[in-house]
Amino acid sequence: MSLFHIDGGRDWGGTERQALVLAREVRKRGFASRFVVHPGSPLHKNAAAEGLPVLPLAMPGGRSFWSALRLASAMRRERCLLAHFHDAAGAAVGAPAAARAKVSVRILSWQTDSAGRPRVARPKDVDAVIAGSEGLKDVLVRSGLSASAVEVIPSGIDFSPFEKLPSRDYLRREFSFAADDFLVGVVAGLEDPRSYQEVVGAARIIIDHAPRSRIIILGEGAVRLEPDKKGHDIHGDDLYFYLGYRDHLPEALASLDAFVTTSPLIGFGGGLLDAMASRVPVVAAEVGGVPEVLVHRETGLLARPRDPRSLAEAVLKLYLDRNLAARLAQKGQEAVRDKYSAEAMACRTIAVYERLASRKGVKLG
């Protein structure tokens, strides 16, 4: 008897890291499991490197009859009792496969509202939807899901990559920044022109008042430059772009003097928990699930949404008051370690597994 974790992601982002953390913790607790991943994806490589039992399966991002048929065959062969779909691509293939294989318990994780309501969250498809925050649960319930079918389990952080880093000057070396430069890392929805202009507007104010500040756009979006290159937007503002963010996440975050996220996602997107785990002071737009984890002036600073001046003023507070910055960084790290550990997330998820299985007279493990 086994549990199947299914994630069709082709990139390495928060959803994939979350699925890997959960699969790892489930294995530690003695559950037989199979990790279904897209062939050759970063998740495939990372899961295999850890020795997790992996089933590579092409998941094109939509329903695929042949992929679902192959997965259903594997589910029957290994007597799958529970299937957990971690993203839309995995659910598009996994839901019909689980129905064909008559899998008893089916669960979908939904971490952001970027794609609206999950199309495979009808009662016949899944027994429960795991939302990453109360804000996301509200979105799902307003879209028509029953509140009783939505479980709120925040993301869990694996703290080991953030410990024992050789140094905290990774980005200074990459860009040849001076020791007294104030490094501000920003994650924003760059596919949205308004988010980019919000960052540009805040950057102008910050640099006007603190010329030693260096604004670094972390990740990628509609703006695509070569990694590690300094870029100029159409107005001539100096911004730095670091596209290797996901590959060097702990080192990049630990290098910062401040972390800013304007992510509009309802879940804890934009690297918020990772930055707090890295003991970096955080400024976040007060949107979605952010206030659930970040308490203003206790574990970070909140800024008004879509307000470049509010964002800039919060960053300048950290620049001018390094004692405040250090206190927020320390308290932020403590809050994340207390409430958002991988172990806590896994325990809560497994409790959902067992409760749903018990309702159906199924014994896991």
How far, in Å, CA of 160 to CA of 250, rounded? 10
**Is beta strand 182-187 parallel, antiparallel or unpaired with respect to 54-56?**
unpaired
For the chain, the maximum distance between any two Cα atoms, rounded to a whole number of angstroms, is 65
What is the per-residue pLDDT for 264? 57
Chain Cα centroid distance, residue 240: 23
Given pLDDT bands bounded at 50, 70 and 90, which one contains residue 293?
confident
What is the per-residue pLDDT for 60? 84
141 occurs within a structural domain:
yes
346 and 326 part of one domain: no
Q: Quick one: 156 exposed, middle or buried, by C-beta within 10 A (0-12, 13-18, 19+)? A: buried
Contact yes or no for 346/156 (Cβ under 8 A): yes
68 and 111 part of one domain: yes
Is residue 188's pLDDT more than 50? Answer: yes
Q: Where are the alpha helices (DSSP H) in 78-167?
A: 88-100, 134-142
How far, in Å, CA of 306 to CA of 12, rounded? 28
- Averaged pLDDT, 190-216: 86
CA Rg, the chain, in Å?
21
121 compared with 208, residue with greater pLDDT: 208
Range of weakest confidence among 69-83, 112-126, 271-285, 311-325 = 112-126
60 occurs within a structural domain:
yes
229 occurs within a structural domain:
yes
What is the per-residue pLDDT for 296? 96
Average model confidence (pLDDT) across the chain: 85
**What does the pLDDT look like over 128-152, one tens digit per residue?**
999 888 888 888 888 888 899 999 9
Contact yes or no for 181/169 (Cβ under 8 A): no
What is the per-residue pLDDT for 270? 55
The tally of domains found in the chain comes to 2
Q: What is the CATH number of the domain that holds 231?
A: 3.40.50.2000
% of the chain with per-residue pLDDT over 70:
86
78 and 209 part of one domain: no
98 and 226 part of one domain: no
232 and 321 part of one domain: yes
Beta strands in the chain (DSSP E): 2-7, 33-37, 54-56, 80-85, 105-110, 128-131, 150-152, 182-187, 213-218, 229-232, 238-242, 258-261, 282-285, 301-303
What is the per-residue pLDDT for 61? 73
How far, in Å, CA of 349 to CA of 343, rounded? 10
335 and 201 part of one domain: yes
Contact yes or no for 183/172 (Cβ under 8 A): yes
318 compared with 240, residue with greater pLDDT: 318
110 and 152 part of one domain: yes
The CA-CA-CA angle for residues 230, 15, 165, to 5°, reads 55
HSE-up (13 A, CA, CB side) for residue 45: 6
**What does the pLDDT look like over 9-49, one tens digit per residue?**
988 877 888 899 889 888 888 888 999 999 999 999 999 99
What is the per-residue pLDDT for 82? 96
165 and 129 part of one domain: no
150 and 212 part of one domain: no
Instruction: Of 163, 352, 187, give the one whose Cα is nearest residue 268.
Output: 187
**What does the pLDDT look like over 234-288, one tens digit per residue?**
344 568 877 666 678 889 999 999 999 987 554 455 588 889 999 999 999 988 7
143 and 169 part of one domain: no
304 occurs within a structural domain:
yes
Q: Which are the contacts of 52, defined by CB distance < 8 A and separation ≥ 6?
A: 20, 23, 24, 27, 33, 35
Q: What is the full DSSP assignment across 225-246?
A: --TTEEEE-TT--EEEEETTTT
What is the per-residue pLDDT for 220? 52
Range of weakest confidence among 83-87, 187-191, 252-256 = 187-191
Dihedrals φ, ψ of 209, to 5°? -95, -20
365 occurs within a structural domain:
no
364 occurs within a structural domain:
no
267 and 328 part of one domain: yes
How far, in Å, CA of 183 to CA of 171, rounded? 9
Task: Provide the domain limits for residue 325.
Answer: 160-339
Is residue 232's pLDDT more than 70? Answer: no
Is residue 123's pLDDT more than 80? Answer: no
What is the per-residue pLDDT for 203? 92
331 and 346 part of one domain: no
**Most confident range, picked from 48-62, 69-83, 178-192:** 69-83
**What does the pLDDT look like over 146-184, one tens digit per residue?**
899 999 998 888 888 888 787 889 999 988 999 999 999
58 occurs within a structural domain:
yes
% of the chain with per-residue pLDDT over 90:
51
Chain Cα centroid distance, residue 175: 26
C-beta neighbour count of 317 within 10 angstroms: 17
Distances (CA, A) of 351 to 148, 156, 345: 15, 15, 10
> Which tokens go with 282?
């955080």
pTM: predicted TM-score of the whole model, two decimal places: 0.77
What is the per-residue pLDDT for 138? 85
